[in-house]
Each structure stands twice: as C-alpha cells, then as structure tokens.
C-alpha cells in the first residue's frame, strides 16, 4: 500500500547530495560555446580566469562530466540550512478544489531568503581555496548581495557589493543586512570606477542599472590584486550549483514514488529553474519521462516568450563574453515598476537551448496577476513569497485549475525560491492598488534588439 505523503517530505542531513548534476553532459545537442568578444572564437579558461575564479571557470566550460563532487568545505556549509523542505501543498490543493497534487521546494528558509546562497557558498569557498583575498559583485533586488555577504563572512573573504542606487535607497534593510555580514556596499553608479564616473558624467541623477553595476564590479575585480568577480545567475556554473535543488526534490519525491508531470520555475537569469529541473530534464532527454517544464517570466521583461535566440553581451557596457541565449538585447531597459529580481535582458544558455529545441515551455505573467497569486498563497499556505517566486505560484495555480476543469490528477512541482520580507514596498503598492502592469510595445522591444551585436554568428 502506498505510504501517506506527509506535508513536509524531509530528507536527513546525510541525504544532502554529495554531487552537483551537470545536465549539459546529458544533452545530445550542446549549447553553443561562449565567445571571446574580441576574437569571436570560443572563450578559453585563460580568458575567463581574468575575471572569474578558476574552479567555477572549469565548471563553466565543462559539458562532459555528469556528476561533479561537492567539496567537503561546501557540504559543511550546506548543513547550516539544507536540506531545504519539500512541501506538499495540501492546503492549496483543498482551497483550489483541484484533483492535482501540488509540491513546492522551499529555498527561502535561510537568512538571505533565497536559493542564491547555494551558489554564493560555492563561489566564496573556491575563491578562498584559490588564495584570493577579496571578491566583487553587483546586486539589484539585493538577494544575491545578501547571499554573497553571508558566504563571504563564513569563508573569511572580503566582499564589495555594487548595489543599483535606486535599490539601495528603496531597500535600506537589505543594505544593512549585507553590512551586518561585513560587506562593503557601494551604490552604483559610483565615482570609484571609470565605468561609474563615465555614467555619472552623462547623467548625474541616474538611479543606476544592473548592467552598470556589473561593469563597475568587473572593473574593480580586474584592477585589484587577488580579487575576482562573482555572478549569481545566468552562467552555467551557477546552474550547476543550483542543481542541488532538483536533486534534493527528486530524492524526497522518489521515497514516495512520486513522479512530477509538470515542473515550474520563475526565470530571471535561469539559475533556480535550471537547478530544479536538472535531474528531471536529464530523464526526459534520455526518453525516460514525459515531464513538462514551464519557465515563468514577467511580461515586462519577456526574454523567452518575445526574445531572440542570438549571441549577446551579458552587460550594458558590452564588456562580457558573448553568450548564445534568449535575449531582449543588452540595451533593453526593463520597466522599473516591476518588483523583484527577474529584470534581466538575457537567459542562461542551457535553458535557452532547451527552449529553442522544444524541451522547455515558457509563459509571461503581468505583475498584478502575480501578486494576486502571491497573496492567495500567503493566506492559504502561510508563507509570504518573494515576488519572483510568485510567478511560479501563479503558473502552478493555473495548471492546478486546469486539472480541476479536465479532472486530471497531475503532479505539479514548483520552486518557491524565496520569501518576501524585504519586498514589503511591493506588497504595499499592491495593497494600495497603485501597482501597475507594463507590457513593452513592439517598438520598445525593437530598440533592445537593435543593441544585439551584428556578428557573423548572428546572421
């Protein structure tokens, strides 16, 4: 007889995965290589090591090893907050009156409040091992900066965070959280870099942007001795670290012989989505399952559903290597009114390839619908979700309601990537009914597409 499935499908501490799963090893069709922006040849480890730490660079370029051991020093840190709970959403199922089974993997139980700590820990550990003394990074909404500050404090490495100026003004508590963990916070653009000074000269009152903060953080890393730059999404090594989400979820579900029919994740740069789907997508690529995978993005920044599949820069200053990805163009400026950290013009290359090849679906949701779902979830399941995570909640609810209509008893798994305690200004706007939806016009998108580099590979 089948065991009754508990509300929380816990794993024990020694069941935390000891390996990350590298989905690229199981892709027959690999994503196109990262290109050096000068030579337009495949970027080498030496090219990337000027900016990034050595071990993550190896992981970035590795599309052959399936399982990559998690070093003991990272496993140790993971025990501080993992395994993350996998929850059966019995309350939500009942409230919706759906025959579907709904599960969510809750990555918001650590102090930084999101899944980003999984990669922050790995990147800080490798930096320390390599003998570096400091790191730089940027943060927009603040979750990545918070996660890096925690990891840098644990491994004893200095951290400078360029925080988009408007965010540092709107989110003073995020700023103090990072400072409490010992990070140096610099509102971007700043006068500490050439990139920042140049932007300030053009527009002294600018609120900054993620692209500009990236340029400042990279410049400082390159100019400082024993210092490198770390990034919290988009790149393949970040997805690799996040595969722990999917592996834990799969291990917990396997104990009860539960096989998801639909897996849903919100998509900014793609790291949580790439992480939660990894082992399940591996089975699908091997022909062993027929799971559907759904990426949910904001309608204000629709890199999957309205983007182009092309080589593009990762930053607005056009300094990074070129990545073949779903992109709105490096010059695309998403509407500032959309809450949360899904405002990035591009998308991870593995996910872009899977989307292009028909293995991954995508949909875009407007902000007020997403917050309707967030508040519904908060009241029913008791957890205040991050605005980003609520995109996945919205799609999970819609799929569960579709099951109600058809009578199908599907199994739905989604990623609850974080909590929304530092996003109260967005909830305030929602409650006050001042929140608005922005869907870019075709003309707005065309301005972004015009910034995609005109290189032979894009012809």
Ligand X SMILES: *Cc1c(COP(=O)(O)O)cnc(C)c1O
In the complex, the residues that contact ligand X under the rule CB under 6 A are 114, 116, 143, 233, 266-273, 341-342, 386, 388-389, 417-418
- Which residue number is nearest to ligand X in terms of Cβ? 418
Least spacing, CB of residue 40 vs ligand X, in Å: 27
Q: Which is nearer to ligand X, 178 or 227 (CB)?
A: 178
Task: Choose between 211 and 269: whose C-beta lies nearer to ligand X.
Answer: 269
Count other C-beta atoms under 10 Å from residue 334's C-beta: 22
Least separation in angstroms between CB 158 and ligand X? 23
CA–CA distance, 67 with 83 (Å, rounded to integer): 19
The answer to whether the beta carbons of residues 417 and 371 sit under 8 Å apart is no
Which DSSP symbol is given to 302?
-
- For 43-89, give the DSSP string: PPHHHHHTTS-HHHHHHHH--S-SEEEPPHHHHHHHTTT-SPPEEE-
- Beta carbon nearer to ligand X, 295 or 403: 295
Using the minimum distance from each CB to ligand X, give the nearer residue, 120 or 435: 120
We find the least distance from the C-beta atom of residue 176 to ligand X, in angstroms, to be 18
Distance in Å, CB of 122 to ligand X, minimum: 14
Query: Residue 123 has which token pair?
Result: 């990147």
Compute the distance between CA of residue 4 and CA of residue 257 in angstroms, rounded to an integer. 11
Which of residues 199 and 244 has its CB atom nearest to ligand X in the complex?
A: 244
Which residues, in sequence order, are bridge partners of residue 136?
A: 160, 229
271 contact partners, CB below 8 Å, separation of at least 6: 115, 116, 119, 232, 233, 234, 238, 239, 242, 348
Is the separation of the CB atoms in 132 and 53 below 8 Å?
A: yes
H/E element holding 374?
A: helix 367-381
* SS3 sequence of 174-206: HHHHHHHCCCEEEEECCCCCHHHHHHHHHCCCC
Nearest distance from C-beta of residue 173 to ligand X, angstroms: 15
Rounded to the nearest 10°, the torsion over CA 147, 151, 156, 158 is: -30
Question: Taking the complex as a whole, how short is the minimal distance between the CB of residue 445 and ligand X, in angstroms?
Answer: 20
Least Å distance, CB 172 to ligand X, is 18
> Cβ(234)–Cβ(140) under 8 Å?
no
CB nearer to ligand X: give 114 or 349.
Answer: 114
The residue among 255 and 363 lying less far from ligand X, judged by its C-beta, is: 363
Residue 128 or 241 having the CB closest to ligand X: 241
Q: Are 193 and 222 in contact (CB under 8 A)?
A: no
Smaller CB distance to ligand X: residue 17 or 341?
341
Provide Rg for the chain, Cα atoms: 21
Q: How far is the CB of 223 from ligand X (least distance, A)?
A: 27
Report the nearest approach of ligand X to the CB of residue 143 (Å): 3
To ligand X, the closest distance from the beta carbon of 93 in angstroms equals: 23
Residue 112 or 330: the one with the smaller Cβ distance to ligand X is 112
**What one-character DSSP code corresponds to residue 385?**
B
Which are the contacts of 145, defined by CB distance < 8 A and separation ≥ 6?
A: 137, 138, 139, 161, 163, 174, 178, 183, 185
Query: Residue 58 — φ and ψ, nearest 5°?
Result: -60, -45
């Amino acid at each position: 007889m089948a065991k009754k499935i508990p509300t929380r499908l816990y794993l024990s501490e020694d069941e935390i995965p000891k390996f990350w799963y590298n989905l690229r090893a199981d892709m027959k069709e690999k994503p196109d290589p990262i290109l050096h922006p000068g030579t337009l040849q495949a970027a080498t480890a030496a090219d990337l090591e000027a900016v990034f730490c050595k071990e993550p660079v190896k992981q970035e370029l590795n599309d052959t090893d399936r399982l990559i051991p998690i070093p003991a020093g990272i496993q140790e840190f993971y025990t501080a907050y993992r395994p993350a709970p996998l929850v059966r959403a019995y309350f939500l199922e009942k409230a919706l009156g759906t025959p579907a089974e709904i599960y969510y993997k809750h990555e918001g139980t650590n102090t930084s409040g999101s899944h980003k700590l999984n990669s922050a820990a790995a990147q800080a550990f490798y930096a320390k091992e390599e003998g570096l003394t400091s790191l730089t990074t940027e943060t927009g909404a603040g979750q990545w900066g918070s996660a890096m500050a925690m990891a840098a404090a644990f491994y004893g490495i200095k951290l400078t965070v360029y925080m988009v100026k408007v965010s540092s003004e709107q989110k003073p508590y995020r700023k103090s959280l990072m400072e409490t963990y010992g990070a140096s916070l610099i509102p971007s653009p700043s006068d500490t870099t050439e990139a920042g000074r140049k932007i300030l000269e053009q527009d002294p009152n600018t609120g900054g942007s993620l692209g500009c903060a990236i340029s400042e953080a990279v410049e400082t890393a390159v100019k400082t001795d024993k210092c490198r730059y770390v990034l919290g999404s988009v790149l393949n090594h970040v997805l690799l670290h996040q595969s722990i989400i999917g592996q834990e979820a799969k291990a917990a579900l396997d104990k009860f012989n539960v096989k998801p029919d639909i897996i849903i994740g919100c998509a900014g740069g793609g790291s949580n989505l790439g992480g939660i789907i990894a082992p399940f997508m591996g089975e699908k690529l091997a022909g062993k399952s027929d799971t559907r995978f759904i990426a949910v993005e904001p309608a204000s920044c629709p890199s999957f559903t309205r983007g182009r599949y092309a080589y593009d820069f990762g930053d607005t200053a056009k300094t990074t290597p070129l990545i073949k990805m779903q992109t709105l163009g490096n010059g695309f400026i998403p509407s500032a009114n959309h809450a949360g950290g899904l405002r990035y013009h591009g998308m991870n290359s593995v996910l872009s390839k899977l989307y292009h090849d028909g293995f991954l679906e995508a949909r875009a949701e407007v902000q007020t619908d997403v917050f309707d779902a967030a508040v519904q979830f908060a009241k029913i399941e008791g957890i205040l979700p991050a605005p980003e995570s609520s995109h996945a909640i919205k799609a999970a609810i819609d799929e569960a309601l579709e099951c109600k209509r058809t009578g199908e008893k599907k199994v739905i798994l989604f990623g609850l990537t974080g909590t929304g305690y530092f996003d109260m200004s967005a909830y305030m706007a929602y409650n006050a009914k001042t929140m608005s939806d922005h869907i870019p016009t075709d003309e707005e998108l065309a301005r972004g597409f015009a910034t995609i580099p005109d290189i032979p590979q894009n012809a």
